[in-house]
Homo-oligomer: A and B are copies of this chain.
Amino acid sequence: MSSIKDVAKLAGVSVATVSRVLNDKGYVGQSTREKVEKAIKELNYKPNEIARSLFKKQSNTIGLIVPDIMNPFFPELARAVEDMATKLGYNVILCNSDENREKEQAYLDVLKQNYVNGIIVSSNTLTAEQIGELNIPIVSIDREISKGLPTIVVENKKGAIIATRFLKNKGCKRIGHIRGTYGVVNAEERCEGYTDVVAEEPWFRKSYIVNGNYDMESSVEATRELLCLHPEIDGIFAANDIMAMGAIKAAYQLGKKVPEELAIIGFDGITISTIMTPELTTIAQPIYEMGELATTILVSLMEQQSIEKTYYTLDIELIERKST
């Protein structure tokens, strides 16, 4: 790989001059510029980003930390972040924290050591102080960390309320809930929303709520338990789509017809939920938009542009399909 020195030598100028044309900064004569450009092309020279980063203390990169890359929600989000980041001239490093505090901290260190300009994170272990110490722009997505931090979330509670009410209006007499991962903010909020709606029902008991881990397996398991314990259940609100899909599967295994005997509604609106049979009814988040918005805000922060607002609560939308 040729370096700036090679270009300078070939063009018969100093490296300073080459740097100037590279960055379009400072004065450089027309003919000199042409010479340099010719040399660059001839050598197929590409600036060394590492050296640049060392000097600038910035690497033109943003980090994206997600808790579970196997949940389609996050690839969809990642896709949006990547698209927007590319558009704005940044690269993205995708990190999978596995919902694990140590891994997350390790990635944070790595990102910092690699001079990322900013980080988008979906975390429930990170605290506001930790972020403060990091001393680099961060936006939180999908999960609120602290009211004061730049954040993109949706109205989780409201969504859960809509979902549960919807089930009720559909005629469900007994509604169960598959909770999201214990300790995750949005899981709490969605559970609260559900509870708000059913708390007053005479039939309601704590055991109508079972724990899942936002993944399929745990949901199949949880749903089976739930349905064995409460065979009278005729409606389930799952805290995300993957778990809703797991619930459908469990219902199928137990010989319950969806939606005839059991209505199921999810949360997220991931693309894949449309190809289930039956297609999944869900509370859809504007996933792509969330990713774009997070990126835009982060970049504004990084580039110190003043922005009106950094905490966004996006709206969700009930999409009725065939599982209810």
Write the residues of chain A forming the contact surface with B, with a CB cutoff of 8 angstroms.
1, 46-51, 53-54, 59, 69-70, 72, 75-76, 78-79, 82, 91, 93-94, 96, 109-110, 112-115, 216, 245-246, 248-249, 252, 271-272, 274-279
Give the CA-CA distance A51 to B94 in the complex, in Å: 22
Give the CA-CA distance A242 to B117 in the complex, in Å: 36
B48 touches A50 (CB 8 A): no
Give the CA-CA distance A76 to B115 in the complex, in Å: 28
17 new A-B pairs (CB below 8 Å) besides A49-B114, A91-B110, A249-B279? A1-B112, A46-B112, A46-B113, A47-B113, A50-B53, A50-B59, A59-B114, A70-B72, A70-B79, A70-B271, A72-B272, A75-B75, A78-B94, A93-B94, A94-B94, A248-B275, A249-B275
Give the CA-CA distance A76 to B69 in the complex, in Å: 8
Write out the residue numbers on chain B whose beta carbons fall within 8 Å of the beta carbon of A272: 72, 216, 245, 272
A113 touches B48 (CB 8 A): yes
Of B47, B78, B277, which is within 8 A of A277 by CB?
Answer: B277
B82 touches A113 (CB 8 A): no
Give the CA-CA distance A93 to B91 in the complex, in Å: 9
Give the CA-CA distance A75 to B74 in the complex, in Å: 10
Write out the residue numbers on chain B whose beta carbons fall within 8 Å of the beta carbon of A53: 50
Write out the residue numbers on chain B whose beta carbons fall within 8 Å of the beta carbon of A110: 49, 91
- A216, A272, A275: most-surrounded residue (chain B CB, <10 A): A275
Of B76, B94, B277, B279, which is within 8 A of A70 by CB?
Answer: B76
Give the CA-CA distance A277 to B245 in the complex, in Å: 9
A75 touches B70 (CB 8 A): yes
Q: List 14 A-B contacts (CB under 8 A).
A: A47-B113, A48-B54, A50-B50, A50-B59, A50-B115, A51-B54, A54-B54, A70-B72, A70-B79, A91-B110, A248-B277, A249-B279, A272-B272, A276-B276
When C-beta atoms are compared, the residue in chain B nearest to A135 turns out to be B1
Of B1, B94, B271, B277, which is within 8 A of A252 by CB?
Answer: B277
Give the CA-CA distance A78 to B277 in the complex, in Å: 28
Write out the residue numbers on chain B whose beta carbons fall within 8 Å of the beta carbon of A47: 113
When C-beta atoms are compared, the residue in chain B nearest to A91 turns out to be B110
When C-beta atoms are compared, the residue in chain B nearest to A248 turns out to be B277
Of B69, B76, B246, B278, which is within 8 A of A79 by CB?
Answer: B69
Write out the residue numbers on chain B whose beta carbons fall within 8 Å of the beta carbon of A72: 70, 72, 75, 272
Q: Nearest chain B CB to A209's CB is how many angstroms away? A: 22
Q: Nearest chain B CB to A165's CB is how many angstroms away? A: 26
When C-beta atoms are compared, the residue in chain B nearest to A114 turns out to be B49
Write out the residue numbers on chain B whose beta carbons fall within 8 Å of the beta carbon of A59: 50, 114
When C-beta atoms are compared, the residue in chain B nearest to A220 turns out to be B275
Give the CA-CA distance A59 to B54 in the complex, in Å: 13
Write out the residue numbers on chain B whose beta carbons fall within 8 Å of the beta carbon of A276: 275-277
Give the CA-CA distance A59 to B190 in the complex, in Å: 42
Give the CA-CA distance A271 to B72 in the complex, in Å: 11
